[in-house]
Amino acid sequence: MISYKEYRVENAPCTAYYIPEFITKEEEQKVTQQVYSAPKPKWKELAHRRLQNWGGFPHPKGMVTEAIPIWLQQQMDHITDLGAFGDKIPNHVLVNEYLAGQGIMPHVDGPIFYPTITTISLGSHTLLDLYLPLQPDLESSQTHTCNTDQVQSTPLTHPEQKGQSTSCPEFGSSLLSESYVGSLLLEPRSLLILQGDLYTSYLHGIGEVKEDVVTEKIFNRRSHQLGDVLTRSTRISLTIRHVPKVFKSKLIFGKVR
C-alpha cells in the first residue's frame, strides 16, 4: 500500500500531497458516467459552475447524514486506506463540474470540516491557485470563510443554510497579485491532499481561464516544461471530506426524523 506522505510537494506551502494517476482511465470513465447519470434534481446550478452534494448538507449545527452511492464510496474507501484523514472516515463528497473558462474565487473551506481536503480530478487539468492568508485588518472587514459548494463571485446564502453567512472577499486584481504564492497543477485522475495551514489559513481558488501557461510558480510541474500551454476542457472534481458533527437521523420529506 502506498503512503501518501511519499508524495509531498516539497516546495509548496505546508502541507500538500499530490498523487498522479491515483485512479485508472477505466475508473475515471465509470465515475464520470455515474456523475452524469445522477438525477437532474441532484444538480445545483451556480453562476460559474454546477455541483452535486453527497452524504448530507454540511451545516455548523451538524450534518444530517444521507446514503452515499457505491461508486463514490469506493473512492472514499481508497482514500481512507491511505490514512489521509488519520482515524477519521470521510463522509461527504462534493462533485463540481467546471466547463473550460469556469473557476472559483479564492476562499477557505472553514471549520465545518476536518482540516484535510482531498480532491480527485476527472477529465481535464486545472490550476489550483494559492494565496497568503488574509491579514487581520482585512479579516475584520470581510468574511473569508466559505464552503466550496457556496462560493461564487457574489455573496450567496442557500435556503438550506438560512442565517449562515457565506460571503467571500471580493478581491481586487492588485490584492490578488500581492497575495498569490503559486499554483498546484491538478491533472486528470490525480489526487490532491491539503492539510495544516494550507487548509486552514491559505486561500485557494481557480482562475476563470481556458488556457494555462506553465511557469516557475507551479509547484509540481513534473514533466511539463516552462512555457508549455495547457488547454482546459470540462473537469469534474470529487472533493472528499470529513464532517465531524453529524446527525444520523434521516431526511423524510424535508423533515428530520
**What Cα–Cα distance (Å) separates residue 141 from each residue in 15, 17, 136, 145, 178?**
28, 33, 9, 13, 18
- Report residue 224 as a C-alpha cell: 511539463
Give yes or no for residue 257 having a pLDDT over 60: no
Q: Which CATH class is domain 4-246?
A: mainly beta
pLDDT of residue 178: 83
For the segment 37-60, what is each residue's pLDDT rounded down to a tens digit? 999 999 999 988 999 999 999 999
pLDDT of residue 177: 77
Determine the 3-state secondary structure of 36 from DSSP. helix
pLDDT of residue 110: 85
**What Cα–Cα distance (Å) separates residue 5 from each residue in 23, 183, 194, 201?**
17, 19, 11, 21
Band (146; pLDDT cuts 50, 70, 90):
very low
Q: At what angle do helices 70-82 and 25-37 cross, to 10 degrees?
A: 140
pLDDT of residue 174: 64
- Greater confidence (17 vs 143) lies with 17
Contacts of 31 (CB under 8 A, 6+ apart): 23, 71, 72, 75, 122, 236, 238
pLDDT of residue 161: 27
Give yes or no for residue 205 having a pLDDT over 80: yes
Q: Say if residue 66 is exposed, middle or buried (CB neighbours under 10 Å; 0-12, 13-18, 19+).
A: middle
Q: How many CB atoms lie within 10 A of CB 218?
A: 21
Query: Structural domain boundaries of the chain?
Result: 4-246
The amino acid present at 140, given as its one-letter code, is: S
Band (3; pLDDT cuts 50, 70, 90):
confident
Determine the 3-state secondary structure of 50 from DSSP. strand
Angle (CA) 70 76 80, round 5°: 135
